């Protein structure tokens, strides 16, 4: 019972894997990308633990992974980069429950003004009375100065997610929708040229005729071939605000043609407001027509006026949530020191909970975040580490915690903080299993499993396991080879000759940074989490403007194109996969349409698309699976009972190329497809590039929603390389090595160096020391995150940084630089 025993796992590329994992230990699974780590840990172990647990609760019919059996399984929790709350209402404060504790502090300690005598009083010294009115209990307090009876503000009154606390105008969002006139109306065009951007095709012709009729009815003479900017005021107001607009009616009250039937013209703005109301949100087809702006009632503070006015130590709640977590920790110390004995009794439990949570978050390198930061604005790594911190609030034991690369987006200096948290989880009596590449983590785990030896069909085996020292002795281990041969290397660096000049960069936490970014080489932007790297590159450089005094950027005109590849997922549609995103699907469908079988049946290339009704299975609409809704648990994907997961109709599946049906081909990895389609030049170009950027192991039908952050970035880079033209392009990359083994990082570095040799310039935001050591030039921001960051602290070649005392990354670069 002291081991989890996996017997004969054959899921994906796993080759009859049997493995014993010690319980109540910190275990790491590593290996090259595509070797089968996630397949073994998540698809087999986690899913089987979940299946056994649900079946014990009486839920039958859940698909079993391809494993003979798993003995001594336990309840499992999986934390990956996609887990966590991505609701736009969710903030760092609500996700960590720190905001809940804050609301309790403001209920207990808040200072407010009496509406009668206008003197300030403290909630903690007020006499209170609770009255039942029908089924509701209402608490009142009495002003200690004039004894006025006042309804007490409870903790729900301090929540922007409740009816009691939220600003009524923005419903607690802090922002409201407004129509983006610049996106809706291009006034330099005529109506037929597309002045109203959402009037398209036949609808455009219909609306122009309706508008012309309205003009005639109201006696307004207007040349519709003219640009909208040249319209007289009445014609413009009719177009934009409609025939019921009061100001428009004041222009035409004596001009109306009373002899014809009254004509109503809705107008562009009333139409858009109506659509917003009908859909209870922005219609997808009109998304570009709206934008969010700060709520004029609460000024973005999300709470109703009474709740916004309450203070604790002269600080209002909206002011506190704008502080960094580090600043809140200091503020809490001041609060604790100011409490009376009675207030200690009221608030100690909330203060202690907040202090404990803040210490954990600080260990994870996230103390630069603010409580009001939206969860959807966090990187995947930040969201995952916040989730990790919250797991320790549940002091449960006997669980299996599975974490997929918890060090994503983390500076090397903060790795020990992550390991300490993982050890705390283990010491509570749990088994902690991480998929990880970071050497700092691998060296500290209790048990290490190395899967390989290579990716795809050449992987799926246990190469080595045991302690870190024992794995290093294995000759077949790619991890052992990388640790011993890919670290200390003699480096040569290109010298910068020309630059992009950024002057007075002060967006977000950047503190008036002046910096020269060298071009025609590989330049790394490094620094601790929250130091301002992404802001400098994507918010200042990528939006470069040489006309302004602040955030001024000069030198971009010399590039043919600027290509930004950030951490945003390439697409969120589950239907999109590797083949469709890279446009490999187009030549693939043509190949099948050219076969003799397809021609005999009259099948065009559309029959070989699972997005077309011509050849797909209509029961699952070409998905291969249908969704089974679970009442209390995550919905399960169940294989389509009609096509049995094959996505296409039976007659389409009978058409083969080299013995493969279209479904079977989509199941191939990139590496396997290269062999099958060796005669197809257009496909070879795409497939070879995917292999070159380290994605040779992915399947052609792999959904983009299942890709890791690093895989998604490299895929976007591949598509840009396939589509982009130009002799001198500027590539901006954001942590492209996420999820890569050291061997894969080495291959990726070669690709970047090839791009530089071809005449391109590359700026890469990175924490990975292996890639940073290979850069020609480094720009380091810091010295810390948040308000303590945003400064240029070091720059030069990696070798030069070793001699700059201010550099935080320098000590960690040493093991990758021999000279």
CA–chain centroid gap for 368, Å, is 18
3-9 and 67-71 as β-strands: parallel, antiparallel, unpaired? antiparallel
Residue found under tokens 């809706």: 184
Select, from the ranges 130-134, 417-421, 624-628, 803-807, the one with the highest average predicted confidence (pLDDT). 803-807
311-312 and 290-294 as β-strands: parallel, antiparallel, unpaired? unpaired
Q: What b/e sequence results for 377-406 when a residue is b if at least 16 CB atoms lie within 10 Å of its CB, and e otherwise?
A: ebbbbbbbbbbbbbbeeeeeeebbbbbbbb
**Cβ contacts of residue 706 below 8 Å, gap of 6+?**
none
Taking each helix axis from N to C end, the angle separating 742-757 and 478-485, rounded to the nearest 10 degrees, works out to 60
For 14-34, the pLDDT digits (tens) are 999 999 999 999 999 999 988
Query: By CB neighbour count within 10 A (0-12 exposed, 13-18 middle, 19+ buried), where does 41 fall?
Result: buried
Is pLDDT at 757 greater than 90 in this prediction? Answer: yes
Q: What is the mean pLDDT of residues 270-299?
A: 91
pLDDT of residue 629: 57
Q: Which comes out higher in pLDDT, residue 701 or 57?
A: 701
Closest to 427 in 3D by CA, of 389, 448, 449, 396: 396
Side-chain half-sphere CA neighbours of 22 within 13 A:
14
Give Dmax over CA atoms of the chain in angstroms.
97
In whole angstroms, give the CA distance from residue 34 to residue 31. 8
Residue 19, SS3? strand
736 neighbors 717 (Cβ within 8 angstroms) = yes
Is pLDDT at 388 greater than 90 in this prediction? Answer: no
138 neighbors 151 (Cβ within 8 angstroms) = yes
Q: Kindly report the three-state secondary structure assignment for every residue of 272-333.
A: HHHHHHHCCCCCHHHHHHEEEEECCCCCCCCECHHHHHCEECCEEHHHHCCCEHHHHHHHHH
332 neighbors 356 (Cβ within 8 angstroms) = no
Residue found under tokens 């983006």: 180
Q: What is the mean pLDDT of residues 90-105?
A: 95
Which residues does residue 9 pair with via DSSP β-bridges, in sequence order? 17, 67
Domain assignments of the chain as residue spans, ordered by start? 3-84+380-485, 178-294, 499-569+726-816, 578-706
Residue 141, SS3? strand
62 neighbors 469 (Cβ within 8 angstroms) = no
For 223-253, the pLDDT digits (tens) are 999 999 999 999 999 999 999 998 898 887 6
500 neighbors 516 (Cβ within 8 angstroms) = yes
Q: Which comes out higher in pLDDT, residue 711 or 681?
A: 681
CA–chain centroid gap for 709, Å, is 8
In whole angstroms, give the CA distance from residue 519 to residue 454. 35
What does each C-alpha distance from 811 to 366, 436, 800 come to in angstroms? 22, 22, 12
pLDDT cut 90: percent of the chain above it: 74
Question: Do 499-569+726-816 and 178-294 have the same topology in CATH?
Answer: no
CATH of 578-706 among 1.10.1740.10, 1.20.58.100, 3.40.50.1000, 1.20.1580.10: 1.20.1580.10
pLDDT of residue 631: 47
Q: What b/e sequence results for 179-190 when a residue is b if at least 16 CB atoms lie within 10 Å of its CB, and e otherwise?
A: bbeeebbbeeeb
Total residue count of the chain as it appears in this document:
819
Residue found under tokens 């002091």: 395
Q: Which comes out higher in pLDDT, residue 24 or 413?
A: 24
- Cβ atoms < 10 Å from Cβ of 694: 28
112 neighbors 413 (Cβ within 8 angstroms) = no
Q: Which of 137-141, 261-265, 599-603, 661-665 has the lowest mean pLDDT?
A: 261-265
In whole angstroms, give the CA distance from residue 802 to residue 388. 33
Please check whether the domain covering 499-569+726-816 is classified as CATH 3.40.50.1820.
no
For 148-168, the pLDDT digits (tens) are 999 999 999 999 999 999 999
Compute, in degrees rounded to 10, the torsion defined by CA atoms 267, 273, 275, 277.
-150
For 550-591, the pLDDT digits (tens) are 889 999 999 999 999 987 777 656 789 999 999 999 999 999
User: What phi and psi, each to the nearest 5 degrees, are found at residue 433?
Assistant: -120, 120
Tell me which long-range contacts 487-492 makes (C-beta under 8 A, separation of at least 24): 487/815, 487/816, 488/815, 488/816, 488/817, 488/818, 489/773, 489/816, 489/817, 489/818, 490/818, 490/819, 491/773, 491/774, 491/798, 491/799, 491/817, 491/818, 491/819
User: What phi and psi, each to the nearest 5 degrees, are found at residue 56?
Assistant: -65, -25
780 neighbors 790 (Cβ within 8 angstroms) = no
Q: What is the DSSP letter of 676?
A: H
The CATH class, in words, for 3-84+380-485 is alpha beta
CATH of 178-294 among 1.10.150.450, 3.20.20.370, 3.30.830.10, 1.10.8.280: 1.10.8.280
pLDDT of residue 530: 86
Total-model pTM: 0.79
Q: What's the sign of the alpha-carbon dihedral 765, 769, 771, 776? A: positive
Which residues does residue 31 pair with via DSSP β-bridges, in sequence order? 451
Is pLDDT at 179 greater than 80 in this prediction? Answer: yes
Residue found under tokens 């720009």: 779
Is pLDDT at 711 greater than 80 in this prediction? Answer: yes
In whole angstroms, give the CA distance from residue 165 to residue 153. 9
Taking each helix axis from N to C end, the angle separating 585-593 and 681-692, rounded to the nearest 10 degrees, works out to 150
Which residues does residue 780 pair with via DSSP β-bridges, in sequence order? 526, 794
* 9 Rama class: left (phi>0) / alpha (psi -120 to 50) / beta: beta
pLDDT of residue 729: 95
């Amino acid at each position: 019972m002291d081991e989890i025993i996996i017997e004969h796992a054959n899921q994906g590329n796993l080759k009859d894997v049997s493995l014993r994992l010690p319980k109540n230990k910190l275990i790491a699974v590593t290996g090259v990308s595509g070797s089968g780590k996630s397949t073994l840990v998540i698809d087999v172990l986690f899913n089987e633990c979940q299946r056994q647990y649900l079946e014990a609760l009486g839920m039958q019919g859940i698909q079993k992974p391809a494993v003979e059996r798993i003995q001594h399984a336990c309840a499992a929790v999986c934390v990956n980069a996609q887990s966590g709350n991505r609701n736009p209402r969710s903030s760092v404060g609500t996700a960590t429950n720190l905001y809940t504790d804050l609301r309790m502090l403001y209920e207990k300690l808040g200072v407010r003004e009496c509406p009668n005598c206008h003197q300030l009083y403290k909630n903690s010294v007020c006499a209170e009375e609770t009255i039942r009115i029908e089924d509701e209990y209402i608490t009142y307090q009495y002003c200690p100065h004039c004894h006025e009876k006042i309804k007490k503000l409870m903790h729900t009154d301090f929540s922007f997610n409740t009816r009691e606390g939220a600003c009524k105008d923005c419903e607690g969002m802090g922002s409201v929708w407004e129509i983006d006139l610049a996106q809706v109306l291009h006034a330099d065009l005529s109506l037929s040229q597309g002045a109203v951007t959402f009037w398209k095709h036949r609808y455009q012709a219909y609306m122009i005729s309706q508008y012309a009729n309205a003009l005639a009815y109201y006696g307004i003479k207007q040349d519709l071939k003219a640009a909208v900017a040249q319209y007289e005021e009445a014609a413009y107001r009719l177009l934009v605000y409609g025939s019921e607009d009061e100001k428009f009616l004041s222009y035409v009250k004596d001009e109306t043609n009373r002899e014809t039937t009254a004509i109503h013209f809705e107008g562009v703005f009333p139409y858009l407001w109506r659509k917003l109301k009908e859909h209870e949100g922005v219609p997808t087809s009109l998304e570009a027509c709206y934008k969010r702006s700060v709520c004029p009632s609460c000024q973005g503070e999300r709470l109703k006026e009474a709740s916004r006015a309450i203070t604790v130590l002269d600080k209002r709640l909206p002011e506190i949530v704008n502080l960094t977590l580090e600043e809140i920790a200091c503020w809490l110390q001041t609060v604790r020191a100011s409490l009376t004995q009675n207030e200690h009794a009221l608030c100690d439990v909330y203060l202690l909970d907040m202090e404990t949570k803040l210490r954990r978050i600080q260990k994870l390198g996230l103390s630069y975040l603010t409580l009001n930061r939206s969860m959807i604005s966090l990187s995947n790594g930040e969201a995952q580490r916040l989730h990790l911190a919250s797991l320790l609030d549940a002091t449960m034991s006997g669980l299996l915690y599975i974490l997929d690369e918890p060090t994503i987006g983390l500076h090397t200096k903060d790795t020990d903080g992550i390991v300490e948290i993982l050890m705390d989880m283990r010491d509570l009596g749990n088994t902690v299993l991480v998929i990880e590449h970071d050497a700092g983590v691998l060296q500290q785990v209790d048990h290490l499993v190395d899967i390989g030896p290579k990716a795809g069909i050449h992987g799926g085996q246990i190469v080595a396991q045991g302690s870190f020292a024992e794995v290093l002795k294995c000759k077949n281990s790619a991890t052992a080879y990388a640790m011993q041969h890919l670290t200390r290397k003699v480096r040569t660096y290109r010298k910068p000759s020309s630059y992009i000049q950024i002057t007075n960069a002060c967006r977000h936490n950047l503190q008036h940074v002046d910096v020269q970014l060298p071009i025609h080489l590989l330049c790394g932007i490094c620094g601790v989490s929250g130091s301002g790297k992404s802001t400098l590159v994507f918010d200042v450089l990528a939006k470069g403007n040489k006309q302004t005094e602040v955030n001024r950027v000069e030198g971009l005109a010399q590039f043919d194109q600027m290509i930004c590849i950030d951490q945003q997922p390439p697409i969120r549609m589950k239907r999109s996969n590797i083949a469709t995103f890279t446009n490999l699907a187009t030549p693939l469908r043509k190949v099948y349409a050219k076969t003799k079988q397809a021609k005999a049946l009259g099948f065009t290339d559309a029959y070989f698309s699972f997005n077309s009704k011509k050849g797909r299975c209509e029961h699952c609409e070409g998905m291969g699976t249908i969704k089974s809704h679970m009442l209390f648990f995550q919905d399960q994907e169940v294989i389509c009972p009609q096509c049995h997961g094959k996505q296409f109709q039976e007659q389409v599946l009978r058409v083969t190329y080299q013995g493969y049906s279209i479904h079977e081909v989509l199941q191939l990895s990139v590496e396997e497809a290269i062999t099958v389609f060796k005669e197809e030049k257009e496909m070879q170009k795409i497939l070879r590039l995917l292999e070159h950027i380290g994605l040779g192991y992915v399947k052609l039908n792999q959904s983009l929603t299942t890709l890791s952050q690093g895989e998604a970035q490299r895929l976007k880079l591949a598509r840009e390389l396939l589509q982009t033209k130009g002799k001198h392009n500027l590539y901006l990359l954001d942590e492209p090595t996420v999820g890569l083994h050291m061997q894969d990082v080495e291959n990726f570095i070669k690709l970047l160096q090839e791009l530089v040799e071809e005449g391109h310039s590359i700026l890469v935001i990175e924490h990975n020391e292996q890639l940073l050591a290979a850069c020609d030039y480094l720009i380091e921001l810091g010295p810390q995150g948040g308000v303590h960051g945003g400064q240029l602290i070091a720059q030069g070649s990696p070798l030069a940084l070793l001699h700059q005392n201010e550099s935080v990354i320098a000590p960690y670069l040493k093991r990758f630089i021999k000279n």
